[in-house]
């Protein structure tokens, strides 16, 4: 009877230690994944655009550049942030070199071209996406957190 009790306890200890090993392994795997954030810029307000850029920089400082993936998606009136006439031109170009992705909404660019006759000139390093809102949604489906300053 005593041997059976010891055997049960030994089996229980073995099972628990295996579960702890799996939990530790899963926790380490999750912490090895970089944090992911998408920032929406849909306003032409310079202060709000600057806050969006500050959010991205501050997050990189907090987690380390290799531990966070950041994409800033500009659409509607916010498209001006990523154009050649942007007041933040130098900063946006610099941040593209620091692993921050910038995406511009093609729908917005088409609407501007239709209205003005000129297609907006995007800054070097800015990607074009079919629809800014769709890009944000798809990134969230991939596990990106969402911020709109």
- CA–CA gap between residue 120 and residue 79 (Å, rounded): 9
CA dist., res. 89 & res. 69, Å (int): 21
Q: Do the Cβ atoms of 38 and 129 come closer than 8 Å? A: no
Q: What is the pTM of this model?
A: 0.79
- Written as tens digits, the pLDDT of the chain (149 aa) is 556 555 555 554 544 444 444 444 444 344 466 899 999 999 999 999 999 999 999 999 999 999 999 999 999 999 999 999 999 999 999 999 999 999 999 999 999 999 999 999 999 999 999 999 999 999 999 999 999 99
Cβ 118 vs Cβ 108: under 8 Å: no
Look at the chain and count its residues.
Answer: 149
pLDDT at 16: 44
Give CA–CA dist 72/137, Å, rounded.
Answer: 13
């Amino acid at each position: 009877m005593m041997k059976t009790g010891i055997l049960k306890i030994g089996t229980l200890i073995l099972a628990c230690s295996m579960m702890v090993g799996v939990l530790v392994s899963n926790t380490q795997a999750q912490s090895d994944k970089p944090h992911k954030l998408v920032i929406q810029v849909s306003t032409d307000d310079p202060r709000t655009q600057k806050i969006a850029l500050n959010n991205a920089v501050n997050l990189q400082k907090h987690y380390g550049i290799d531990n966070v993936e950041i994409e800033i998606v500009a659409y509607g009136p916010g498209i001006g942030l990523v154009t050649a006439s942007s007041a933040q031109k130098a900063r946006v170009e610099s941040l593209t070199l620091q692993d921050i992705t910038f995406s511009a909404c093609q729908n917005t660019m088409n609407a501007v071209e239709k209205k003005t006759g000129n297609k907006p000139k995007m800054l070097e390093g800015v990607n074009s996406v079919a629809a800014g809102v769709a890009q944000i949604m798809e990134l969230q489906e991939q596990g990106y957190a969402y911020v709109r300053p």
